[in-house]
Amino acid sequence: MEVSFLFSLLLGFLAELSEAQYHYQGLMNYLESRMLAMEERIALWHEQNDRYNSDLKKFKQQASELLEKLSQEHSKLKLDLEGAGVKVDRVEREMDYIETKNPPKPCIKAADKMVEQEAVVEQKKKEQFFELSVCIDIVSNIRAMKILKRVGSPKGVWTKDSKTAKVYIFNGTSEDTLYEFNSVKDLSASAGVSKGKQITLPSAWTGTGHAVYDGFLYYTSERSELQVIKYDLKNGSIADSAVLPVEGQIPVYSLNPETLVDLIADEEGLWALYPAGDTINLAKMDAETLDIEQMWDTLCPRTNAEAAFIVCGTVYVVYNTRPSSRSRLQCVFDVNDMTTSGEAPLLYFPRRFGAHSSLKYNPVERQVYAWDDGYQILYRLALRKKLWAIAPPPEE
């Protein structure tokens, strides 16, 4: 009885052991299949990684070759551009030479009666001129050009009082604040216009036609009427004002539409250039009272005019020319009718940045303070005596 129980127990144990072994074999088979799948995926990843590395190396090689080719083409293009620049400069020099040798007729109000009248009448006119003024200089050429710096707006004015060393900056075409510097050197060393002494005016100026003369600022202010205001820079007050007899709101220079009147100071005092139809008119003003003493029609056209300056009572109007960024002094008007066509200079300004917004002559330094696209430029002028002053015709 006991033997049969033990035998039954042994059979049961063997059956359980067989079943456990079966489950173990199934687990091992499952783990083996998962390991094979992982090995296949790892092998696939290595294959893809090798392919990506190969493609990356190929791309790097192609990119390197392309960059090298672009660098060579860039160097070639740079050489071509430098060669083109040399050719353009050569063409411009040839154009300047041709224009100098074959200049257009200057726009000068020639006094025909001076040519047609007898020599005795001419001599009387010259004797009368000597009684009015002893200033007999005329511009012959531009000796030098100096770019001081670039501060402020594309349009503006910088000028120097001929009686002092102070420099004044008018930034823009409509503002009520100007900036004062003790000298050109101080302006050159400054970080900007805001570093100068600020002077706030009682009213905003209009355009770029301002003048500083003998401690006073002369500027135009557009209210109900176009006014010339005389401002005492020392006392900070308005000394006088006057209404200009200008009809219509048209600019004196077509290329600077903001400037309706250009106030200018030279060796002989205060002047005003203003529009009259298609031409430019000139008025001599009393610097003390702002009274208009005399008026002239210069016959200089407003079209393509940039700016103007006056030397010894002679007006020099600057016009735009082609190619761009080149200007020339073409129209000349002498209030004393003592400048002949042969004496009038036809000057070309050096290559610049844009168009002059203002030209202010300093008679002491014989320099023009120019504002060009935000750049402050100095043009040093060469002057000579008028021909008739050197060798006047003999008396009859």
Note whether residue 361 is domain-resident. Answer: yes
Show Cβ contacts of residue 291 under 8 Å, excluding neighbours closer than 6 positions. Answer: 242, 285
Is residue 4 located within the same domain as residue 94? Answer: yes
pLDDT for 253 equals: 94
Note whether residue 310 is domain-resident. Answer: yes
Please give the average per-residue pLDDT across 172-189, as a whole number: 90
pLDDT for 96 equals: 59
Tell me the pLDDT band of 216, cut-offs 50, 70 and 90: very high
> Helix (H, G, I), strand (E, B), or coil: what is residue 315?
strand
The domain that contains 128 carries what CATH number? Answer: 2.130.10
Please give the average per-residue pLDDT across 121-125, as a whole number: 45
How many domains, the chain?
Answer: 2
pLDDT for 130 equals: 40
DSSP per-residue letters across 44-99: HHHHHHHHHHHHHHHHHHHHHHHHHHHHHHHHHHHHHHHHHHHHHHHHHHHHHHHH
pLDDT of 91 above 50: yes
Among 15-19, 148-152, 217-221, 308-312, where is mean pLDDT lowest?
15-19
Note whether residue 395 is domain-resident. Answer: no
Is residue 84 located within the same domain as residue 124? Answer: no
pLDDT of 109 above 50: no
Is residue 65 located within the same domain as residue 165? Answer: no
Shortest CA distance to 298 belongs to which of 341, 337, 254? Answer: 337
Higher pLDDT, 166 or 15: 166
Please give the average per-residue pLDDT across 3-28, as a whole number: 72
pLDDT of 55 above 90: no
pLDDT of 322 above 70: no
The letter for the amino acid at 4 is S
DSSP per-residue letters across 273-305: EEEETTEEEEEEE-TTT--EEEEEEEEEE-TTE
Note whether residue 381 is domain-resident. Answer: yes
Is residue 86 located within the same domain as residue 131? Answer: no
Is residue 171 located within the same domain as residue 35? Answer: no
pLDDT for 116 equals: 43
pLDDT for 115 equals: 39
Note whether residue 396 is domain-resident. Answer: no
Show Cβ contacts of residue 335 under 8 Å, excluding neighbours closer than 6 positions. Answer: 282, 284, 294, 296, 313, 314, 315
pLDDT for 288 equals: 92
Is residue 62 located within the same domain as residue 138? Answer: no
CA distances from 156 to 184, 254, 352, 373 (A): 16, 16, 16, 9
Domain boundary among 77, 102, 127: 102
- Domain containing residue 37: 1-102
Radius of gyration of the chain (CA): 42
pLDDT of 102 above 50: yes
Is residue 97 located within the same domain as residue 126? Answer: no
pLDDT of 126 above 80: no
Q: pLDDT for 336-394, tens place per residue?
A: 877 765 666 778 887 667 788 999 999 889 999 999 888 999 999 998 887 655 555 44
Domain boundary among 102, 133, 159: 102
Q: pLDDT for 197-209, tens place per residue?
A: 999 999 998 899 9
Beta strands in 107-236 (DSSP E): 107-108, 137-150, 156-160, 167-171, 177-181, 197-200, 211-213, 216-222, 226-232
Q: pLDDT for 127-160, tens place per residue?
A: 444 434 467 888 988 888 898 888 888 899 999 9
Is residue 148 located within the same domain as residue 236? Answer: yes
pTM beyond 0.85: the answer is: no
Is residue 21 located within the same domain as residue 80? Answer: yes
Is residue 183 located within the same domain as residue 73? Answer: no
CA distances from 141 to 226, 280, 367, 379 (A): 35, 23, 12, 10
Higher pLDDT, 113 or 289: 289
- CB neighbourhood size of 28 (10 A): 10
Tell me the pLDDT band of 44, cut-offs 50, 70 and 90: confident
In this structure, is the dihedral angle defined by the CA atoms of residues 351, 95, 381 and 341, taken in order, positive or negative? negative
Q: What is the mean pLDDT of the chain?
A: 81
pLDDT for 247 equals: 72
Is residue 179 located within the same domain as residue 48? Answer: no
Structure tokens at 249: 């709101």
pLDDT of 260 above 80: yes
Label residue 207 left, alpha or beta by phi (over 0 means left) and psi (-120 to 50 means alpha): left
Q: Give the rounded percent of residues in the chain with a pLDDT score beyond 90.
A: 31
pLDDT of 43 above 90: no
- CB neighbourhood size of 162 (10 A): 17
- 345 burial (CB, 10 Å; 0-12 / 13-18 / 19+) is buried
Note whether residue 213 is domain-resident. Answer: yes
Tell me the pLDDT band of 167, cut-offs 50, 70 and 90: very high
Please give the average per-residue pLDDT across 307-312, as a whole number: 92
Shortest CA distance to 375 belongs to which of 102, 156, 83? Answer: 156
Q: pLDDT for 265-305, tens place per residue?
A: 888 889 999 998 899 999 999 999 999 999 999 999 999 99
Domain boundary among 50, 76, 102: 102
Note whether residue 189 is domain-resident. Answer: yes
pLDDT for 104 equals: 46
Tell me the pLDDT band of 233, cut-offs 50, 70 and 90: very high
Structure tokens at 232: 């005492």
Note whether residue 54 is domain-resident. Answer: yes
pLDDT for 352 equals: 65
Is residue 35 located within the same domain as residue 150? Answer: no
